């Protein structure tokens, strides 16, 4: 709690007392963008934690003064740090409060806030601690990753379906399964590995069916030969 109070005091001094009064129109607009980004992250993390709607979620605020916007931003930063151990200035969530404190020394807080107001877009939301920063909107980045994970299995299945349609001709030519390298088989994604497994299983099943058909034809030929032999014996 004391660390959070110290952070709030340092942020208030740097952003509210020193920067807000000298912000131009572009700076005020950038601050509003950062506030909106922080509100979206707050809503997302609160929902994951089953926290009900609160004042830190996106809300219409009319036309606030720079000082009011500064206080709003500080409130959300403190909420994200205190409740979710998330540092909006870095776009990262930490597992321990000690790591959070070490990542944002109070002596560097003023510089971090200045760089935050100079960026053209909010920082990236990362649910696991990782190096680097990004200029992608946090919530958009998270939703894009979810959509990518959902869409990958469909593309994998479509490609496997195309392979299975082309594979019988190869089996007829060579008499054995012929696996074709594809973008799916070269991928390291778990879905791609599953697609390769399905491809191999389907090829093996088709090869087994082809072998069974050959055995049936051989048996039919043998039976026909036996019948012809019996007919010749009866005729003689």
The DSSP-derived string for 141-205 is: HHHHHHHHHHHHHHHHHHHHHHHHHHHHHHHHHHSS------HHHH--SHHHHHHHHHHHHHHHH
* pLDDT value of position 204: 72
Whole-model pTM: value is: 0.52
Mean pLDDT calculated for residue range 141-165: 54
Listed in sequence order, the residues at least 6 apart from 93 whose beta carbon sits closer than 8 Å to its beta carbon are 45, 84, 85, 86, 87, 126, 127, 128, 129
In DSSP terms, 87 is beta-bridged to 92
Q: How far apart are CA 150 and CA 159, in angstroms?
A: 16
Q: How confident is the model at residue 31 (pLDDT cuts 50, 70, 90)?
A: very high
* pLDDT value of position 117: 86
Q: How confident is the model at residue 130 (pLDDT cuts 50, 70, 90)?
A: very low
Point out the least confidently predicted range of 25-29, 153-157, 194-198.
Answer: 153-157
Q: How confident is the model at residue 39 (pLDDT cuts 50, 70, 90)?
A: very high
Better-scored residue on pLDDT, 122 or 97: 97
Mean pLDDT calculated for residue range 228-233: 61
Mean pLDDT calculated for residue range 10-25: 92
Query: Considering just the CA atoms, what is the radius of gyration of the chain in Å?
Result: 33
Per-residue pLDDT reduced to its tens digit, 113-122 = 999 888 654 4
Mean pLDDT calculated for residue range 129-146: 54
Answer whether residue 80 shows pLDDT above 70.
yes
Better-scored residue on pLDDT, 207 or 110: 110
Highest mean pLDDT among 68-77, 103-112, 121-130, 142-151: 68-77
Answer whether residue 129 shows pLDDT above 90.
no
Length of the chain (residues): 236
Listed in sequence order, the residues at least 6 apart from 187 whose beta carbon sits closer than 8 Å to its beta carbon are 193
Q: Give yes or no for a contact between 65 and 6, defined as CB atoms under 8 angstroms apart.
A: no
Domain borders along the chain are 2-136, 144-229
């Amino acid at each position: 709690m004391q660390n959070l109070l110290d952070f709030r005091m340092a942020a208030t001094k740097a952003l509210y007392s020193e920067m807000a009064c000298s912000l131009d129109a572009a700076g005020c607009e950038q601050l509003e963008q950062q506030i909106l980004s922080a509100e979206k992250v707050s809503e997302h993390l609160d929902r994951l934690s089953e926290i009900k709607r609160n004042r830190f979620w996106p809300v219409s605020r009319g036309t606030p003064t720079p000082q009011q916007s500064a206080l709003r931003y500080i409130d959300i930063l403190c909420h994200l740090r205190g409740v979710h151990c998330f540092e909006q200035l870095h776009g990262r969530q930490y597992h321990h409060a000690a790591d959070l404190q070490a990542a944002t020394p109070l002596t560097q807080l003023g510089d971090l806030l200045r760089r935050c107001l100079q960026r053209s877009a909010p920082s990236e939301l990362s649910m696991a601690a990782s190096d680097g920063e990004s200029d992608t909107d946090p919530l958009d980045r998270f939703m894009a990753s979810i959509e990518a994970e959902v869409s990958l299995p469909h593309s994998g299945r479509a490609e496997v379906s195309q392979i299975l349609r082309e594979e019988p001709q190869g089996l007829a030519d060579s008499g054995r399964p012929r696996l074709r390298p594809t973008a799916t088989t070269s991928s390291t994604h778990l879905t791609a590995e599953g697609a390769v497994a399905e491809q191999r299983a389907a090829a093996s099943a088709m090869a087994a069916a082809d072998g069974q058909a050959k055995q049936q034809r051989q048996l039919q030929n043998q039976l026909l030969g036996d019948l012809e032999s019996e007919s010749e014996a009866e005729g003689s």
